[in-house]
Amino acid sequence: MKMKLLWLLLAFASITQAAAPDTSQSGVPLLQPLPQESKAAHLSAEVLTRYHYKAAPLDDTMSSQIFDRYLKSLDPEKMFFVQSDIDQISSEKTKLGDAINNENLSPAFKIFNLYEQRFNERFTYARSLLKQGFDFTAKENFQASREKESWIKSEDEMRDLWRKRVKNDWLRLKLAGKDPKSIVNTLDKRYDNYLVRNRKLKSDDAFQIFMNAYAESTDPHTNYFGVRASEDFDISMRLSLIGIGAVLVEHDEYTTIRELVAGGPAMLSGKLKVGDRIVGVAQGEHAPMVEVLGWRLDDTVAIIRGAGDSTVVLDILPEDAGPDGKHKLVSLIRKKINLEQQAAKDSIIEVKDGANTRHIGVISLPTFYQDFAAHQRGDPDFKSATRDVSHLLAQLKKDKVDSVLIDLRNNGGGSLDEAIELTGLFINKGPVVQQRNASGKIEVESYTKGKPVWDGPLGVMINRGSASASEIFAAAIQDYGRGVVIGESSFGKGTVQRIVDLDEAAHNDKPKYGELKMTTAQFFRINGGTTQLRGVTPDISFPSSIDSDEFGESSYDNALPWTQINAADYALAGDLSDVVPLLQARHDSRIKNDKEYQYLEEDIALFKAERKKNSISLNEADRRKERDTQEARIKAHEKATESSKSASEKLAAAKSDAIRDDGLQANERTLTVEIAAEKAAKDAKDVLLNEAVHILSDEVDLLKTDSRLAARVLPGLVLSAGAKSN
């Protein structure tokens, strides 16, 4: 069985809808498992019970765990099922394992279909509430999160919960200045859209959720990918696809162009623009046109993609045309599209320190990507995070930067090979990570290619969203004493996954059964510790809005424990023990006078307090008072920091203020507003990044003024050769 070495953290998106058992009442077709899905489940069980790092039998205990996780995936906030539903389906609790082994998934689909019925009923009831309006003078509250609550006991209690949910939606729009008629139209359309999307679900949606309930019951990072999910995962790793070069979204039942990729066929044609709607797709100049109005977005995308150099014809309703406006046909030749927005990027940030101006090179890396297939077939130009970062470092050296910061915030991981190779850009030959498999055998993975590309001052920035390969890299840099790690404690994922192609296992020529991303080993730092559960602790910590029990490895109920093995044989590249306290002292002193940093800490504290309170007032006077207090605080902060903002930052703040809380969901705003908000977020000042580059500037200053310290931090390096201050 062929297994491809892989990564990390890829959380599947829980679909909080399902399919109805009573078609006469719901209008939604009854979903049934397909034969290939039952076979794929059985194949997955054979693999997981034999080769998983924590291989466990598919017995009654595992079946019960699958049942609980399945319900949590479907109804995490306990807003749809009532206790009598749980009592009804609890008879299936110990049958799910047998259902998988016997290739009869009816019990799983029975649960899904009941959920579909409840989903339909709840949103239909929500729409009915819009006819009566609400009393906003009453003193009552809505519970923001119900994840840890018990199942609601009766239908009356459930209806009251939904009354409060709809009342909160209405009040948000009212506070944003919407009139009653507009509010009713917005919410009615919103709830109807949920029902419409619900009716478009297929058996593979139900199957994907159920199989992930099984996979994630073995450990948090084992996942099942259906055929389409496998394709999307491969695209995310190789950062390329064959298509037309357009980012598409679903908007009012239309597949709508949100962005044109530079250099792609769609942009080069000059015939398409943002906001244009695709209502039909044909596979060639003389092929029949297939109407896609009302289709699911992923189904439309699937037929727009195709083989390279093939023709696709789009039936376009222009952005400025009404529903009955004139269409146009656009013929495009599909080409390879590189997803450069997700690739490594560099920038240079100037830090003024008295008479000196230092230049800090920042490399942002969203994921540790690699085109596995191209690499395996020997393509010398295969897409690689390490190769891209190496090119960026070479340019930064030409630009004579004083230090380099690798920004791994929200980098969920990727290729283990890339983590090892990327570490090698900053160290000499040596071990990077250790792996222990299920039998206890330990292997040391090393970088063996020689001299580093960058041997100057270095920093690594992480946060709670930095996981897996990001943690391997950050931990290695920290253990070698090679650079300063800055930010929040990382995710805490210390396990290794491999991709198992179920079609290869079944000797299929065409994709049919999907893939498993399965945990097969645990990785350890070269110092013998592990990032599992605890993550990487930064040398200099920043404030975090995330609680460890809500996000990260420690939030999982079946995470592996922290443990330790012997250290690998490695030599320190530097010693930061003397410089870190000095950097910490300068950091502490600086943030005392940094209003933006202080306001950020204040915002985080208030956010945590609100989340802990877990209660939203539904009284209009109380909410207006809360809103006015919040807006006054925000305006005071903006006024206090106005003089330090650049023109682009001031414009970004103005755009962001325009939709601060308009009560709308993303797909309810116009594309123009959404794109402007996204740009405003990108242009806004990154307070934490700004402080991180100041810390690295401090390090450069300390090393330049203290040769003894420099010799310990960067032994053998003549600082002025790789950096210049002016």
Q: Which residues are catalytic?
A: 468, 479, 493
What span, in angstroms and rounded, lies between the C-alpha atoms of 715 and 439? Answer: 40
SS3 string, 259-271, reads EECCCCHHHHHCC
Burial class (CB in 10 A: 0-12, 13-18, 19+), 642: exposed
Burial class (CB in 10 A: 0-12, 13-18, 19+), 265: buried
Strand partners, 357: 352
Helices 385-398, 416-424: inter-axial angle, 10-degree rounding:
20
Burial class (CB in 10 A: 0-12, 13-18, 19+), 514: buried
What span, in angstroms and rounded, lies between the C-alpha atoms of 468 and 367? Answer: 10
Question: Residue 59: CB partners within 8 Å, gap ≥ 6?
Answer: 97
Question: How many residues are present in the chain?
Answer: 726
What span, in angstroms and rounded, lies between the C-alpha atoms of 54 and 232? Answer: 27
CA dist 488 → 175, 290, 461, 503, 606 (Å): 35, 50, 8, 41, 18
Pair 363, 392: CB distance under 8 Å: yes
3-state secondary structure of 402: coil
CA dist 276 → 260, 272, 302, 319, 693 (Å): 11, 7, 18, 4, 41
342 Cα distance to chain centroid: 12
Among residues 119, 67, 72, 121, the alpha carbon closest in space to that of 89 is found at 67
What span, in angstroms and rounded, lies between the C-alpha atoms of 715 and 709? Answer: 9
Pair 309, 334: CB distance under 8 Å: yes
Pair 37, 106: CB distance under 8 Å: no
Pair 540, 461: CB distance under 8 Å: no
Instruction: Kindly write down the DSSP assignment for every residue of 488-545, as one continuous string.
Output: S------EEEEEEEHHHHTT-SS--S-EEEEEEEEEE-TTS---TTT-PPPSEE---S
Helices 203-218, 35-51: inter-axial angle, 10-degree rounding:
10
What span, in angstroms and rounded, lies between the C-alpha atoms of 516 and 274? Answer: 37
CB neighbour burial string for 77-109, b if at least 16 within 10 angstroms, e if fewer? ebbbbbeebbeebeebbbbbbebbeebbbebbb
Among residues 445, 356, 391, the alpha carbon closest in space to that of 724 is found at 356
Instruction: Kindly write down the DSSP assignment for every residue of 404-473, as one continuous string.
Output: EEEE-TT---B-HHHHHHHHHTTS-SEEEEEEEETT--EEEEEE-S-S-S--S-EEEEE-TT--THHHHH
What span, in angstroms and rounded, lies between the C-alpha atoms of 445 and 386? Answer: 16
Instruction: Kindly write down the DSSP assignment for every residue of 147-164, as one continuous string.
Output: TTSPPB--HHHHHHHHHH
